Amino acid sequence: QSVLTQPPSVSGAPGQRVSISCTGSSSNIGAGYDVQWYQQLPGTAPKLLIYGNNNRPSGVPDRFSGSKSGTSASLAITGLQAEDEADYYCQSYDSSLSGSYVFGTGTKVTVL
């Protein structure tokens, strides 16, 4: 079971801004471990979207940005595009579970 909680779904019209939250605890995000975000397009493997809370790998548009505060993190998508319709997962490290790499519950982004 996931220890990082995300909203099941968010939606927005093209061009709008949407945000996805990722809520953890004092043994993962709150302990200072960084947060990553992965994008999973339909029928494909997940892809690293944001690492180290707010860093984008080469090739990821700057429409995607991340932030972290306390025991939570957020992913923002500005200028939403049809191709952004996908599942998004946050991920961090948890020191309480024998050292586990934990994922969020996942959020489906729908472009209206």
Partner 1 sequence: EVQLVQSGAEVKKPGESLKISCKGSGYIFNTNWIGWVRQMPGKGLEWMGIVYPHDSNTRYSPSFQGQVTISADKSISTAYLQWSGLKASDTAMYYCVRLNIVATNYYFDNWGQGTLVTVSS
Stretch in the footprint of partner 1 (CB under 8 A) among 13-21, 60-68, 70-78, 98-106: 98-106
Q: Binding partner 1 by CB under 8 A: which of 30, 47, 67, 78?
A: 47
Exposed e or buried b for every residue in 13-44, given b needs 16+ CB within 10 A?
A: eeeeebebbbbbeebbbeeebbbbbbbbeeee
Q: Binding partner 1 by CB under 8 A: which of 39, 65, 66, 104?
A: 104
String marking each residue 63-82 x if it binds partner 1 according to CB under 8 A: --------------------
Determine contact, residues 77/109, Cβ cutoff 8 Å: yes
